[in-house]
Amino acid sequence: MAVPGGSGERGSGDAVQRQQQAYAELKHRIMHGALPPGTQMLESDVAGLLGMSRTPVREAMIRLAEEGLIEVRPRHGMRVLGITVDDLEEIYAVRTPLEAAAVRMAAARGLSDRELDELSQSLERMERALAEDHLWDWALEDGEFHRLLVNASRNRRLISIIETLRGQLHRGTMATCEMREKPSLSNIEHRAVFEAIADRQPDLAERRLAGHLHRSGGMLIELLRTRGLTSI
């Protein structure tokens, strides 16, 4: 029988921590292009890259496969998956109503001063990045802003589902951030969503967020099609 706080319990906690670390580090490399679509690696090579043992790496790979970021093949390790234009259309069709619902929940309950401050600072960082033509930084902060919006719903299941979808979309945002026009309109729309939430107007916040994702998602898909890119 395990003694609370004993070595068995600590060992289990350490294993979970290592698995989470492996997951976070591997996902970060995939999301930010260090491991682009098509990359194939054996489990042992991934473990070596991360400086970890194979067990937490294996568990991390299973999670990432469930999120649609990689394919795990017996005896062949993993392969980083690309995202097709059809995938993007499906993801936006699911993400848009879910994230709009999350924003509605956040506006209905009202945000704490800390939550409002975090969103406000994120907006300022996006505006500064755009003013300085740091499009990569803007794209990173765009992801952070939407994460904060969804987290403000405090609905754990909704947060989990949307995070999986956003993980798949984030690569599209990063891959195309220098192909498109400066996203000045996105900054305006982000601030409009924030103001509706801060004013506790659920209908308006939901409508503005849905409109923003419909426009920005459509623009991304059209950009890829215009350039003849079937996947990213």
At residue 76, the pLDDT reads 83
- Are the C-beta atoms of 56 and 19 separated by less than 8 Å? yes
Give the whole-angstrom CA distance, residue 17 versus residue 99: 29
At residue 205, the pLDDT reads 99
Give the whole-angstrom CA distance, residue 130 versus residue 19: 36
Q: What domains does the chain contain, in order, with CATH numbers?
A: 7-80 (1.10.10.10), 85-226 (1.20.120.530)
The two three-digit tokens of residue 132, written as one number: 């300085």
Can you give the pLDDT of all 232 residues of the chain as single tens digits? 445 555 454 556 788 899 999 999 999 898 878 898 889 999 999 999 999 999 999 999 999 998 888 999 888 899 998 888 898 999 999 999 999 999 999 999 999 999 999 999 999 999 999 999 999 899 999 999 999 999 999 999 999 999 888 878 877 777 787 788 899 999 999 999 999 999 999 999 999 999 999 999 999 999 888 888 777 7
Its pTM stands at 0.81
Is residue 200 classed as helix, strand or coil in its secondary structure? coil
